[in-house]
Structure 1
């Protein structure tokens, strides 16, 4: 069992003959208590912060992934609109949607850390690469159709030109059908990625919750232990201080009443009380 007096002696003594004032000792003990409680609080904060960060990343990952679905679904319709209406605004919208997809893909790569998530991400990135290639080919073919129609509109070999254009249109239609299929694959790949990441973060959160519970128990034990030790130290320390002061007061009262047969005051502390006790003992010796 811990010897409380020995513990108190360790807390109140220092190497050498240097002395510390009562104020210094009290402040130093208070600082130790504050540092212990503060350190525990800081550790708790960082653990809690880690949990919040994991939840934030999980939500961000889901939102970023979902932000890819909408522009990917819009591009085929916009491309058909560009094919029929020949409006440059539609082409700009297609490029804007591709930029949005690429930007979200970059953000997504920064949030994924687990191996299974990276596999799903690589699969999604490959599908998006194919998707972008199909869009590029469809746009180029659309330009060729427009150029062929304009260039050969007055040509005598109308039937040959018509056959050429029809072949291009059929090829364009095939591109568009593939584009729609790939856009569905993109949605499926994103849903798979989200499911994988949610499963990963569920595992991470379970581990963080376990650590948080363990840390909470440790924090509680540290706070309780610090409180108990602080109370024990305060009782012992102030008992010594008040005991010494009380003996000095009663001895001084006896001397004032003419009784010089007083006991010597002993004080084992290294502070003003030891100086006061030594001075009092010397004064008594001189009076005798």
Structure 2
């Protein structure tokens, strides 16, 4: 796996964990929002309707009293309108999802009492036309007390809805606390996973680099017999280790060649010294021969044939000396060339080792 792939994989793990955290948070927040929506549509709405029913019943009683005082039939018309609206609200309460048997019975009682209140008000209206006092007695002893009973029923419903509302709020607060705690736990786990992933990737990257740096420092100090770098994997660092091993092997071969060239240079120098000694002896022999020729010219006049032979030998020796000098010159030039090549290779090797030592981590970071 390449180093780039390892880094991308590490970041993807962290991103997946954070994405899971956000997804869970979104889920629980939606759940919490649903609870609040149900709270608004449920107990709060039921409490509002119940309060409105109580207010409408109180207005009906007020209109009935107003009619008994003023005798205006418009009061009865308003009472009928209020009674019809009260019936609609009671029907809405019957559709509630939080109903118990007791609550259902209470709502049914309110519905029946509301109808009875309207019937009582109609009776009061009929009696009022013939006997006002009897109508007032009918209203005070039957119809108006019935409205009070309805108000008591609505108060009990309000208490019930308030209890449900309190429980719903408590449950919602508990859910909020649970969501907060769960988010803290998940975020903590995500942080731990991110730290472990970072440490793991860092160890996978820095450990082979530190090993490679240690080997490079030894090579820079001139130790080419160090243990070769062993980095498992197929990433860029492993390839760098293989290239570094090849470089060490090439440096070792280069040093071996330099040593061999130095040995050849030493051998050539010895041969050059031997040839120089031979040349010196040949020169001395030539001088001696010339002196012998000069001193014995008169004596050897009769031996011209021998002189010709001696002169020929001298020429051959001079030619041999010239050939030896040429060979010595060529070997000296070759030795100088080998020496220069070895020096350049050694200098280049030293510069390469220094460059490796200086840029051992820079190449990876860049």
TM-score tier after normalising by the smaller chain length: 0.5 to 0.7
Q: Distance in 2 between matches of 1:92 and 1:24?
A: 79
Question: How do 1:191-202 and structure 2 match up within 5 A?
Answer: 191-202=155-166
Assess if the C-alpha contact under 8 Å between 1:47 and 1:212 holds in 2: no
RMSD: 4.0
Q: 1:276 aligns with which of 205, 218, 236?
A: 236
Partner of 1:72: 57
- Give 1:241's aligned residue: 205
- Counting only pairs closer than 5 Å after superposition, residues 16-55 of structure 1 correspond to structure 2 as 21-46=5-30, 48-49=32-33, 52-53=36-37
Deviation of 1:141 (Å): 6.6
Aligned residue for 2:229, secondary structure, equals coil
Corresponding position: 1:182 with 2:156: no
The counterpart of 1:120, out of the listed 62, 82, 103, is 103
1:51·1:208 contact (CA, 8 Å) conserved in 2?
yes
Cα separation, 2, equivalents of 1:179 and 1:267: 97
Q: What runs of 5+ residues in structure 1 fail to find an aligned partner? A: 1-16, 150-164, 269-273
SS state at 1:21 partner: helix
What's the counterpart of residue 86 of structure 1?
72
CA contact (8 A) 1:120 1:189 kept: no
Q: Partners of 2:57 and 2:23 in 1: how far apart?
A: 50
CA distance in 2, matches of 1:27, 1:110: 53
Which is higher, the Rg of structure 1 or of structure 2? 2
C-alpha displacement of 1:69: 1.1
Change (3 A) 1:121 1:191: farther
Q: 1:191 to 1:52 in 2, by over 3 A?
A: same
Distance in 2 (CA, whole Å) between partners of 1:170 and 1:27 is 90
Unaligned 5+ segments in structure 2 are 250-366
Change (3 A) 1:177 1:112: farther
Q: Is the 8 A contact 2:228 2:245 kept in 1?
A: no
Give the equivalent residue in structure 1 for 2:190.
226
Partner of 1:13 in structure 2?
none
Q: Does the CA contact (< 8 Å) of 1:138 and 1:176 recur in 2?
A: no
* Cα deviation code 1:92-114 (max 9, x no counterpart): 42233224323433443455515
Alignment-derived partner of residue 134 in structure 2: 170
Distance 1:145 1:111 in 2: 39
Q: Deviations over 1:212-271 (max 9, x none)?
A: 555544443333233223222212222222333444566678788985966334244xxx
Residue 64 of structure 1 contacts residue 108 of structure 1 at CA under 8 Å; is this kept in 2?
A: yes
Note the C-alpha offset of 1:180: 0.9
Is contact 2:229–2:245 with CA below 8 Å preserved after alignment? no
Question: What is the distance in 2 between the residues matched to 1:244 and 1:106?
Answer: 79
| Cα distance between partner residues in 2 of 1:55 and 1:204 | 7
Aligned residues: 245
Give TM-score scaled by structure 1 length: 0.64
Shift in Å, 1:276:
1.3
Partner deviation per Cα, 1:127-171 (whole Å, 9 max, x = no partner): 3333224314633773x579xx7xxxxxxxxxxxxxxx34x9736
Q: Is it true that 1:134 corresponds to 2:117 in the alignment? A: yes
